[in-house]
Structure 1
Amino acid sequence: MTELITAYPWFAERNKHLAELHRQKRLPHALLIHGMQGIGKALFAKSFAQMLLCQQPESGKACGVCKSCELNAAGSHPDLFILQPEEAGKQLKVDQVRALGEFIYSTAQQGGYRVVVIDPADSMNIASANALLKMLEEPGSDTLLLLVTSKMGQVLPTIKSRCQHIECVTPDTEVAISWLMSEGDLDEERARGVLTINRGAPKEALAYLNNNLGEDRAQLIRGLADILKQRRSPLEVAQAWQKLDLELLLGWLYSLLTDIARGALCENDDSVRHEDARNMLNAVAKKLTPLESLN
């Protein structure tokens, strides 16, 4: 059997739902797949695209043996268009989006669907989004556009309104821990701790391990502790953090603040989830009233 992209196990219900829409011939022409970063939305979109292009899908999955599956596995299916920025973190250029026109309005070479995956959809500026609007309104028959985003607030309302939304939530904790234990070769306690640091996002947790981000995390915790104990000023700590990934840093800070609020409201030391900062977070939480923690 040809090796194809497989969605993560926690997407089984979402995949079943879309496969059923396809079976009933009720699949819309555009889906906006959204949810937090690090749970595997893009892989899910590509996996569903492979199923849709498969000539003999089985139980909502690509068969892996037909000609279409062979082309997908080789990354050369003529009816699949993956649209991404030329560089990670950059915007999709309007010329890149306009290039979709010829693909969308052509005849499918394999006689089935034409599928476009746009990842991330929030990388479009006003010009590139406007170039996509007409295609979303009149995409042609047997065409599906899959837009993927972790930042719904940065997707233009005109794009959102023309898509059916597929919300992807973080997976069940035990399912995520089991997957992380297998992929990261971890024991349960370590897997649970890393998953908590990364707000329950399994892929983000695995990247944390693979990229050796433990020291960056430790630097964050040390800096906050130094501020609280007045060993360093906030400015000194901020300067020490300059080389850290800002988006990553903000995500960690958000999680720590959530733990502080939880600790203040519950008045229970066990309500704090971040083991690597438990004592510090509990100490801060005890100095707050519930009203202050909510503000």
Structure 2
Amino acid sequence: MEISDRYHSLNAVVYPWFDGQWQRVLKLFNDQRLPHALLLNGMPGIGKVRLAEAIAGYVMCHQPLNDKACGECRSCQLLNSSGHPDLYFLQPEAPGKAIKVDQVRQLTEFMHNTSQQGGYRVVLLEPAEAMNTSAANALLKTLEEPGRDTLLILITHQLGQVMPTIKSRCQRLDCHLPNSEVAANWLSAELEIDTDAARKLLNIVHGAPIAGLTFKKEGLQALRADFLTALRDLLRQKVTPLEVASQFSKEDIEQLLGWLHGLLADITRILMTQNNDMIRNVDMLKMLSGVAKHTTPEKVFTLSDFVQSECLGLQRRQNPNKQLLLERTLIDWTALVRS
């Protein structure tokens, strides 16, 4: 890992929906009861990493003021510029890869050094579920004997994939989805769109406001529109699963499967409630209603379980043949409405 990957400036933000978690950490710190390891748990796209960086900035500040880092002391200046020698970022060397044991061993060396600026040494490790077994085992000793004035902040998007021995040595800080109105108002202000458009966007990203921000700013609406159009054309037999799989095989397959899983959840809602009031993908209402009329719950549940299983495999850094996986999934999608 390059030095620039380990040390860089903070991008600390405490989003309004995390005020409770923030106040809890401040009380622990001010009461001198801050644990040596925190585990921030929650779904992706809600701002956990920014919260972790805010916690790091606060505990490393030499003179925090009004429940936030002062921004003026030498430590804050380092945190907000080229990076602080007592703050260590640990992530996979490439997106979707595992955190390796050698990376954790390098971290252990850092943890055994003395603080260069005085005060806390802080580690931000994300995502915690990316550690392979050897890396997780190597981290255990550090968690058991962290040293004085050290804080490890582990961030997980998949709590069930974190080793129990790791979880048991951390104090968990659960980070929940914000209230729908809070999220819609915040996203509306950030993107300068009306709240109704913000709500529709939040429906697509399962209520995660930071994911909604990314979705809009990275132009993912065009990819989603193309993919959903292809799914509709498959049902109309205008294209084949092989053609669609070839078209999208170079895209983020986990993203595509996530969108498909959302459609299947909406079809299930229609089948179970016999109305359309609870569906999230309202822009695809006609297609969803048509599928619901011509399929069975058993078919939808089977495909939904398969898609969820494949997403889990991708999160565990399995590397399937994208083309074949998409072909299999799309064949099953077309089979929903055929006897």
TM-score between the two structures when normalised by the length of structure 1: 0.90
Q: Distance in 2 between matches of 1:37 and 1:202?
A: 10
Q: Show the counterpart of 2:265.
A: 258
Counterpart code for 1:246: I
Question: Is residue 161 from structure 1 mapped to residue 168 from structure 2 by the alignment?
Answer: yes
Q: Distance in 1 between matches of 2:43 and 2:149?
A: 29
Q: Show the counterpart of 1:213.
A: 220
Question: Is residue 47 from structure 1 mapped to residue 54 from structure 2 by the alignment?
Answer: yes
Report the aligned-residue RMSD: 2.2
Q: Distance in 2 between matches of 1:87 and 1:223?
A: 30
The offset of 1:51, in angstroms, is 0.6
Counterpart code for 2:110: F
Q: 1:283 aligns with which of 290, 307, 310?
A: 290
Q: Distance in 1 between matches of 2:294 and 2:18?
A: 41
The offset of 1:290, in angstroms, is 6.8
Which whole-Å deviations, capped at 9, do the CAs of 1:64-95 have from their partners, x for residues lacking one?
A: 22222112112432221111223333322322
Counterpart code for 2:227: L
Q: Distance in 2 between matches of 1:194 and 1:234?
A: 28
The offset of 1:265, in angstroms, is 2.0
Question: Is residue 183 from structure 1 mapped to residue 190 from structure 2 by the alignment?
Answer: yes
Q: Distance in 1 between matches of 2:190 and 2:152?
A: 31
Q: Distance in 2 between matches of 1:235 and 1:76?
A: 48
Q: Please show how residues 90-129 of structure 1 align to structure 2 within 5 Å.
A: 90-129=97-136
Classify the secondary structure of the residue corresponding to 1:269: coil
How many equivalent pairs are there? 293
Q: Show the counterpart of 1:17.
A: 24
Q: Show the counterpart of 1:248.
A: 255
Classify the secondary structure of the residue corresponding to 1:27: coil
Classify the secondary structure of the residue corresponding to 2:72: coil
Which whole-Å deviations, capped at 9, do the CAs of 1:176-211 have from their partners, x for residues lacking one?
A: 222222222222232222221111111211111122
Going from structure 1 to structure 2, the CA distance change for 1:169 and 1:39 (only over 3 Å counts) comes to same
Q: Distance in 1 between matches of 2:190 and 2:196?
A: 15
Q: Distance in 1 between matches of 2:159 and 2:167?
A: 9
Classify the secondary structure of the residue corresponding to 1:62: coil
Counterpart code for 2:41: H
Classify the secondary structure of the residue corresponding to 1:272: coil
CA contact under 8 A between 1:94 and 1:131: conserved in structure 2? Answer: yes
CA contact under 8 A between 2:123 and 2:152: conserved in structure 1? Answer: yes
Q: Show the counterpart of 1:193.
A: 200
Q: 2:230 aligns with which of 223, 237, 249?
A: 223
The offset of 1:4, in angstroms, is 6.5
Question: Is residue 88 from structure 1 mapped to residue 95 from structure 2 by the alignment?
Answer: yes
Which whole-Å deviations, capped at 9, do the CAs of 1:24-49 have from their partners, x for residues lacking one?
A: 22222111112111111111101111
Q: Distance in 1 between matches of 2:92 and 2:250?
A: 24
CA contact under 8 A between 2:11 and 2:53: conserved in structure 1? Answer: no
CA contact under 8 A between 2:100 and 2:131: conserved in structure 1? Answer: yes
Q: 2:44 aligns with which of 33, 37, 50?
A: 37
User: Which is further off, 273-282 or 224-233?
Assistant: 224-233
Q: Distance in 2 between matches of 1:151 and 1:122?
A: 6
Q: Show the counterpart of 1:71.
A: 78
Q: Distance in 2 between matches of 1:47 and 1:140?
A: 22
Which whole-Å deviations, capped at 9, do the CAs of 1:74-128 have from their partners, x for residues lacking one?
A: 2432221111223333322322211122321233233322111111222211222
Q: Distance in 2 between matches of 1:84 and 1:233?
A: 39
- Where structure 2 has 5 or more consecutive residues not aligned to the other structure, the ranges are 1-9, 303-339
Q: Distance in 2 between matches of 1:167 and 1:250?
A: 26
Q: Please show how residues 138-149 of structure 1 align to structure 2 within 5 Å.
A: 138-149=145-156
User: Which is further off, 53-62 or 201-210?
Assistant: 53-62
Classify the secondary structure of the residue corresponding to 2:122: strand
CA contact under 8 A between 1:194 and 1:205: conserved in structure 2? Answer: yes
Going from structure 1 to structure 2, the CA distance change for 1:145 and 1:44 (only over 3 Å counts) comes to same
The offset of 1:288, in angstroms, is 5.8
